[in-house]
């Protein structure tokens, strides 16, 4: 199942910058692990914001939920999820 996931990161003012750098490094490592597995298929930065738009390919809503709440930066995120399905005019066979 494909999902569009919009993530906005909101770090509290005064949050420990060293701890935040650690969390960002852990987030990047987890993202790259999921990307290599084919789960986190695409990611785009939103210009001028600490936000991204991503495409996930997971077998269920529950698995996506578990992935998202397990992200190191999850406590600082506002997340919006939209389920997607293949458009009949798409030329890409991997758009399941």
List phi, psi (to 5°) of 31. Answer: -60, -50
pLDDT band of residue 36 (cuts 50, 70, 90) is very high
Q: How far is residue 80 CA from its own chain's centroid?
A: 10
Summarize pLDDT for 37-87 with one digit per residue, the tens: 999 999 999 999 999 999 999 999 999 999 999 999 999 999 999 999 888
User: What one-character DSSP code corresponds to residue 12?
Assistant: P
Q: What is the pLDDT of residue 31?
A: 96
Asked if 56 and 5 count as a contact pair (C-beta separation under 8 A), the reply is yes
pLDDT band of residue 95 (cuts 50, 70, 90) is low
For the chain, list the domains and their CATH numbers.
2-84 (3.30.70.1060)
pLDDT at 96 over 70: no
pLDDT at 5 over 90: yes
> Token digits for 66?
């578990």
Short-list 87, 75, 78, CA closest to 2 = 87
């Amino acid at each position: 199942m494909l999902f569009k996931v919009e993530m906005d990161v909101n770090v509290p003012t005064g949050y420990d910058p060293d701890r935040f750098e650690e969390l960002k490094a852990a987030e990047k490592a987890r993202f790259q692990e999921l990307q290599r597995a084919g789960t986190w298929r695409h990611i785009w930065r939103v210009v001028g914001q600490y936000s991204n738009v991503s495409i996930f390919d997971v077998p269920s809503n529950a698995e996506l939920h578990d992935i998202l709440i397990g992200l190191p930066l999850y406590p600082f995120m506002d997340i919006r999820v939209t389920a997607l399905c293949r458009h009949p005019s798409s030329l890409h066979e991997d758009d399941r």
